[in-house]
């Protein structure tokens, strides 16, 4: 048992070091400034909306649905690795010690998000309901209990069913969690506790199945690999993750994009750059996500200066990351065998970035059309993108 505790401790320390190593590149100075402006502007608009919100607004149901969805996603963090499928087999009967620590970390690492969501909703509850302070805080207590139940149930369900049909279990837990939160905020804690008892009984039945099943190492290892790969892809938007390998998709519906590259030998690199960007998930989804974030903020935050600052920061991030990603490729390409001009690839990358930043600018401008001087956001994106590409240094290709 002590050995398994030591295994967990060592892996947990390594995991935290890995997360900290990349997170320091994520939360940089310019991102912190953007977050401050976004949080401040959203908070200001939220407080202004609370002054005029209708007392018939279905706040309880809205809060219950949001919190129920957050509670339902309680994927266990086991930190298991592929060799464990062999090397941990001799101690399988004692693995409950390891999994106990894993579930404790899963609970404490995920409770923060649902607690923040509920705390943010408290001003809305005060504005449209007659709940007392004690009743509101009792609601938070129930949410903590629900989160603990959801973490235990998802782990036991994955264990007993070898990871099959997880969606069915998740939908059932989400519905029960929504009803529990809605009930405790309208009827009372004791009535809402009935749903917690139902979840506990469900978990108890799953535990009985767990005792009869061997540990599904393959499922938990794959789940952990997917979780870490998701983190690495997120970190790769801000810094280079050497061992990350992105997937490739054809995306034939974007074939028309290649028409922007005239068919001649001087545009060899441009054509390769366009195909690389369109087909590589890491590059393409980087642009999609940053564009979506900017567009959402422009649509919901009705403060022009905030929209312009966010647009400037994210257009800078989009341009600099795409430039480095497309110019510092370490993979062998057939064009390396042919005598083409050295600056052809640089011109191709510039052309691609300029095209997709124009598209980003149009999307953001349309989303901010209800603001004064809505066209300024598009100009900011185009100007910052051009300056960033020309001023920033070209990365040294690694062949």
Q: Give the integer Cα–Cα distance in Å for 16 and 24.
A: 12
- The answer to the question of residue 380 being in a domain is yes
Q: At what angle are helices 304-327 and 281-300 packed, to 10 degrees?
A: 180
One domain, residues 54 and 189: yes
One domain, residues 320 and 180: no
- The answer to the question of residue 32 being in a domain is no
- The answer to the question of residue 396 being in a domain is no
One domain, residues 162 and 276: no
Q: Give the integer Cα–Cα distance in Å for 39 and 274.
A: 36
Q: Give the integer Cα–Cα distance in Å for 60 and 189.
A: 14
Alpha helices per DSSP H over 89-186: 95-128, 133-160, 166-186
- The answer to the question of residue 245 being in a domain is no
One domain, residues 363 and 262: yes
One domain, residues 190 and 317: no
pTM over the 0.85 mark: no
- The answer to the question of residue 397 being in a domain is no
One domain, residues 114 and 209: yes
Q: Are 270 and 291 spatial neighbours (Cβ–Cβ below 8 Å)?
A: no
Report CA-CA distances (Å) from 99 to 73, 144, 389. 18, 20, 49
Cα-Cα-Cα-Cα torsion 181, 185, 190, 194, nearest 10 degrees, comes to: -30
- The answer to the question of residue 51 being in a domain is yes
One domain, residues 296 and 152: no
Which pLDDT belongs to residue 206? 93
Q: At what angle are helices 133-160 and 217-236 packed, to 10 degrees?
A: 120
For the chain, helix (H) and strand (E) counts, in that order, are: 14, 0
One domain, residues 292 and 367: yes
| Domain count along the chain | 2
Query: One digit per residue, pLDDT tens: the chain, 399 residues?
Result: 568 888 999 999 999 999 988 888 777 656 666 677 778 878 888 888 898 888 889 999 999 999 999 999 999 999 999 999 888 888 888 899 999 999 999 999 999 999 999 999 999 999 998 888 899 999 999 999 999 999 999 999 999 998 888 999 999 999 999 999 999 999 888 888 899 999 999 999 999 999 888 999 999 999 999 898 888 877 776 666 766 666 777 788 888 888 887 787 777 778 888 888 888 877 888 888 889 888 888 888 778 888 888 888 889 888 988 888 788 765 555 555 566 666 777 888 888 889 999 999 999 999 988 888 888 999 999 999 999 888 887 765 544
- The answer to the question of residue 244 being in a domain is no
One domain, residues 270 and 349: yes
Nearest to 325 by CA among 356, 292, 287: 287
Last residue of a domain, one of 221, 241, 273: 221
Last residue of a domain, one of 170, 199, 221: 221
Report CA-CA distances (Å) from 184 to 137, 179, 195, 199. 11, 9, 10, 15
One domain, residues 179 and 57: yes
Which pLDDT belongs to residue 249? 77
Q: Return the SS3 of 394.
A: coil
One domain, residues 212 and 106: yes
- The answer to the question of residue 201 being in a domain is yes
One domain, residues 260 and 192: no
> How is residue 248 annotated by DSSP?
B
Residue 375 lies in domain: 252-331+339-391
Last residue of a domain, one of 221, 243, 265: 221
């Amino acid at each position: 048992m002590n050995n398994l505790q030591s295994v967990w401790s060592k892996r947990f320390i390594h995991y935290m070091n890995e997360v900290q190593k990349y997170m320091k590149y994520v939360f940089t100075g310019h991102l912190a400034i953007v977050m401050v402006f976004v949080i401040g502007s959203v908070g200001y608009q939220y407080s202004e909306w609370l002054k005029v919100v209708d007392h018939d607004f279905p706040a309880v149901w809205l809060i219950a649905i949001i919190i129920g969805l957050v509670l339902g996603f309680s994927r266990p963090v086991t930190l298991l690795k592929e060799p464990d499928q062999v090397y941990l087999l001799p101690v399988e009967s004692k693995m409950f010690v390891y999994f106990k620590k894993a579930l404790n970390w899963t609970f404490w690492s995920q409770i923060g998000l649902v607690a923040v969501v509920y705390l943010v909703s408290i001003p809305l509850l005060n504005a449209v309901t007659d709940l007392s302070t004690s009743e509101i805080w009792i609601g938070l207590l129930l949410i903590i209990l629900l989160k603990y139940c959801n973490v235990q149930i998802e782990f036991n369900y994955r264990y007993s069913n070898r990871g099959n049909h997880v969606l069915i279990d998740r939908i059932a837990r989400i519905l029960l969690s929504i009803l529990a939160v809605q009930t405790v905020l309208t009827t009372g804690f004791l009535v809402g506790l009935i749903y917690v008892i139902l979840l506990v009984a469900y978990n108890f039945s799953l535990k009985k199945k767990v005792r009869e099943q061997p540990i599904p190492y393959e499922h938990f290892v794959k789940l952990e690999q997917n979780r870490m790969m998701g983190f690495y892809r997120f970190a790769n938007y801000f810094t280079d993750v050497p061992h990350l390998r992105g997937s490739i998709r054809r995306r034939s519906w974007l074939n028309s994009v290649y028409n922007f590259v005239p068919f001649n030998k001087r545009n060899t690199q441009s054509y390769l750059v366009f195909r690389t960007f369109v087909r590589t998930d890491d590059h393409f989804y980087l642009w999609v996500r940053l564009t979506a974030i900017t567009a959402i903020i422009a649509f919901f935050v009705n403060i022009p200066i905030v929209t312009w600052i966010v647009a400037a920061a994210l257009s800078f991030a989009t341009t600099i990351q795409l430039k480095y990603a497309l110019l510092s490729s370490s993979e062998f390409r057939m064009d390396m065998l042919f005598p083409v001009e050295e600056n052809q690839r640089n011109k191709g990358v510039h052309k691609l970035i300029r095209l997709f930043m124009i598209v980003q600018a149009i999307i953001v401008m349309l989303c901010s059309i209800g603001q004064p001087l809505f066209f300024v956001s598009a100009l900011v994106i185009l100007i910052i993108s051009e300056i960033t590409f020309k001023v920033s240094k070209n990365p040294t290709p690694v062949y």
